[in-house]
Chains A and B, each alone.
Chain A
Amino acid sequence: MSRFGTDGGFAGHLGDALSALLDGELPAAQAEGARDHLAVCPDCTRELAAVDQARTWVRTLPPVDPPFGFYERMLLDRQPVLRGALGDRATLRRRAGVAAFGAAAAAVTVLGIGSPSPRPVSPSVPRLVEAHATSASVGADLLSKLAPVGVPVSFGR
């Protein structure tokens, strides 16, 4: 802990004032006093370099993209999946299968719209998605999650 006086001078080493100095959080008088001290104190100069290095490391960490389809799944549901209501962290992994199936279903829908003579699909896509959500297993890969879906499908002519 640093001990600044009212004139910006201080006793002892700068301590956490070094981080405040780097972050522009010291009042002008204290910042000036800190710089004066750094000019004559090798210990504080070394510590300043160390915390500046750590600060730079964190500040240059890149943004992190969420897993593919993470927000789309929630937007599709129109509400966030509630951890408390649906279980635990396995919820998302379980629902990853739903997302993959939803993407496939969306592709089928788009293709259907683009064809010259749309045909009715039975059961409906929403029902298929719902059926898969209840049958998808936890921990398996996405493809194997799709396999257990046992809903009969027919494409009417």
Chain B
Amino acid sequence: MSGSGIPTWEEVARDHGRFLYTVAYRLTGNSDDAQDLVQEVLLKVRRGLETYVPGSLEGWLSRITTNTFLDDTRRQRRRPVDLLPEDPDRVVPPSPGADVALAAEALPDHIQDALRALPTEYRAAIIMCDVVGLSYQEIGDALDVPVGTVRSRIHRGRALLRKALA
């Protein structure tokens, strides 16, 4: 880290890469989308480092990651669905790489699947709370919603998770 307390882009990728990828994977639920999300986030991080105020770097990273994910999700909702996909990958998905296969074998997939099935707003609030460890106030600030809304989303999300995995 430089003397100013502001990390370089390389330090963010090296020292917080695993954390960043974990948050992205939990939000998106699959390796391809997680990689895309991390790349998008790192681009924003690179642009935003000049204005970064030293503090909780992982909190800052998780806020960027979650908001980028939610923006992407909203954008996709607005995009019309292709009736006839031209990309063969979308008809016959490619077989997963060795890293994906290993991750799937090592992780409790049923929990990840249930997380992915949650409404995105619930999922984002739960991950910011239970994976990142942010307070309700910090989550509310990051998502620009009242604390009461955060509390409601977290509770409803947990209730849905419990029902899905019962």
Residue ranges of A at the interface with B (Cβ–Cβ < 8 Å): 1, 15-20, 23, 25, 47, 50-51, 53-55, 57-59, 61-68, 70-71, 74-75, 79-83, 89-93, 96, 139
Q: Verify if B129 is at the interface (C-beta below 8 Å from A).
A: yes
Q: With A58-B131, A61-B26 in contact, is A67–B39 under 8 Å at CB?
A: no
- Asked whether B94 lies within 8 Å of A70 as measured between CB atoms, the reply is no
Ranked nearest first, the 5 interchain pairs of A and B with the lowest CB-CB distance are A16-B155, A19-B155, A54-B158, A54-B161, A67-B99
Q: Which residue of B lies closest to A96 (CB)?
A: B97
Taken together as a complex, chains A and B put the C-alpha atoms of A97 and B165 apart, in Å, by 39
| Number of chain B residues close to chain A: CB under 8 A | 52
CB distance from B94 to the nearest CB of A (A): 5
Q: CB-CB < 8 A to B107: which residues of A?
A: 61-62, 64
Taken together as a complex, chains A and B put the C-alpha atoms of A17 and B155 apart, in Å, by 8
Q: With A58-B161, A63-B22 in contact, is A83–B151 under 8 Å at CB?
A: no
* A-B CB contact pairs (8 Å), 14 listed: A18-B155, A19-B158, A23-B154, A55-B130, A58-B131, A65-B103, A70-B21, A74-B42, A75-B14, A79-B46, A80-B43, A83-B40, A89-B33, A139-B89
- Asked whether B152 lies within 8 Å of A83 as measured between CB atoms, the reply is no
Q: CB-CB < 8 A to A71: which residues of B?
A: 13-14, 17
- Asked whether A61 lies within 8 Å of B21 as measured between CB atoms, the reply is no
Partner of A63, one of B19, B39, B40, B127: B19
Q: With A54-B161, A54-B162, A54-B165 in contact, is A64–B33 under 8 Å at CB?
A: no
- Asked whether B39 lies within 8 Å of A64 as measured between CB atoms, the reply is no
